[in-house]
Amino acid sequence: MAETRYEDCIYKNPNAEVELRVRDLLSRMTLKEKIGQITQIERRVTSPSVITNYCVGSVLSGGGSPPCEGAESSHWADMIDGFQKAALETRLRIPIIFGIDAVHGNNNVVGATIFPHNIGLGATRDADLVRRIGAATAIEVRASGAHWAFAPCVAIARDPRWGRTYESYGDTETVCKMTSLVSGLQGDPPEGHPNGYPFVAERKKVAACAKHYVGDGGTEKGKNEGNTIVTHEELETIHLAPYLNCLAQGVSTVMASYSSWNGDKMHTHHFLLTQVLKNKLGFKGILVSDWEALHRITDPPGLNYRECVKDSVNAGIDMVMVPFEFERFISDLTSLIESGEIPMTRIDDAVERILRVKFIAGLFEHPFSDRSLLDKVGCKEHRELGREAVRKSLVLLRNGKDPEKRFLPLSRNAEKVLVVGTHADNLGYQCGGWTISWFGHSGRITTGTTILDAIKKSVGSSTEVVYEEHPSEETLSGHNNFTYAIVAIGEEPYAETFGDSSELEIHFNGSKTLKSVAEKIPTLGILVTGRPVALEPTTVEKVEALVAAWLPGTEGDGIADVVFGDYDFEGKLPMSWFRTVDQLPMNTDQADPLFPHGFGLNCKKD
């Protein structure tokens, strides 16, 4: 009997039902090909020969990891298409799915639109805005050739000492609302779409990833990758709730958390990964591990790696973000399957889920990048959306020492204005971590508008703008007749554990700078931070106005739009702002905060 031609296989028929295609393709796969699909590797160890020899199913770019220095979207598309070409030369021609940390726009790519980090978007409470940001991000991601965005982070940040606080939208109610990013990235599922079944609408959309399952923002003392000590009921009502919204929107993937629940590592937690997420909640997409997470299950890391592979895969992990030592992972996984320590039913379930998402995402029909989208990267429409997001995210904390004499909005036609601070003319600080690189950087790291740029564009032609990052005594001597000063200070960029902080201080003597300027000149303070930070009451009392600008991204014009009065302040605090770190953790209903959860003044009404 003649062998079935590749073109005649059911799985190659775009008109066949997805589940038929999945079962048909699975039935044709060898063990080696199945293990390859479960393996996700970093692009730095990826080559066409690696993909073809190991039948690799997924590649990712970790923490930026660009194809070249200063890589733009076309460079990314060239790289990813090259990997894809190799995948399509394998026996079954199964395309790879390429994942990227597009967490506030396609933030790894020079020239892309960088939107405010999630903490700022949480201050907007605007679910439609976040959905539109998701749609714009999807276009810019697909232009780069990637198919999968590791977003949204739906963590509930319970303690700002956590280094990933800015990746959270805030409290449970707000985070649940902001899961609209899923529909923005993937498209809106049709009426009657089953809960938990993955959905990607069209070629301009990408697979989304709800992370980090579950409880990552509730760890003791805000320690990243730490232990979340809560009851089962608290885990459900506080931390699990946003995942229900994501599943209802057909989120394609879920990423497990490094953290533990009451001492048990999430990556080996069969009850939460399989019994709850997959069986009870009906999730049918890919459950992916986090970066090198299987190494981190033990202390010290990497101890008895083979056992970690067994425990994680048996617990329910479908795809393993290896990302470098893929030969060791493949060898251990093969051995575990052959010995019966991991049953083939578990492997087949994992591969079915991976193939399901690939079929639904249209990768078999459209595996390569869509170069027609390149002109949309950083386009005016997307930058205007970013500007709108900045406007709506700003939280006005103080407006005038005298309640009867509001300081904002500022006059555009002031004779002379002083602009000060480490964050006034620094696009990298303005964007924060996860921008071009994992940690982010100082300086003009991409295309955008700094706060100083925006101020200069907004004031009248006769207004003199003086900028000094660190003002001299002579500047503050009182002989310069400044109408007002704008001081932009905050945190330097950070990511993950490196952002954990017990003191939550403003860097670069920022508080001292703000206070010294405010003692001499009527001052607006702008805080560029990823979370509430320590503020001395005496400093707050010295300034005329104080604004939390969070990490606004590339569109600094949005700040000028509001402080000069074209738009009013709309943002409300997504978490309580503590008086002292001794009060932490401070939940939304806790007494005596410096500024309570939901606080935010309004120039025209308050």
Catalytic positions: 290, 496
Report which secondary-structure segment, H or E, holds 260: strand 260-261
Amino acid (1-letter code) at residue 103:
V
CB 77 within 8 A of CB 100: no
Distances (CA, A) of 345 to 253, 314, 318, 399: 20, 10, 12, 63
Q: Within a 10 A sphere around the Cβ of 194, how many other Cβ atoms? A: 12
Strand partners, 418: 466, 485
Give the residue among 517, 547, 245 at the shortest CA–CA distance from 399. 547
CA distance 163 to 9: 49
Burial tier of 299 (Cβ tally within 10 Å: 0-12, 13-18, 19+): exposed
Distances (CA, A) of 46 to 53, 82, 327, 356: 11, 10, 12, 24
441 Rama class: left (phi>0) / alpha (psi -120 to 50) / beta? beta
Residue 521's contacts (CB-CB under 8 Å, 6 or more residues apart) are: 418, 476, 482, 484, 485
Q: In this structure, what DSSP letter does residue 596 have?
A: -
207 Rama class: left (phi>0) / alpha (psi -120 to 50) / beta? beta
Distances (CA, A) of 407 to 398, 490, 560: 9, 21, 15
| CA atoms within 13 A of residue 260's CA, in its CB half-sphere | 12
Burial tier of 596 (Cβ tally within 10 Å: 0-12, 13-18, 19+): middle
CB 576 within 8 A of CB 592: no
Burial tier of 82 (Cβ tally within 10 Å: 0-12, 13-18, 19+): middle
CB environment 10-44: b (16+ within 10 A), e (fewer): bbbeeeeebeebbebbbeebeeebbbbbbbbbbbe
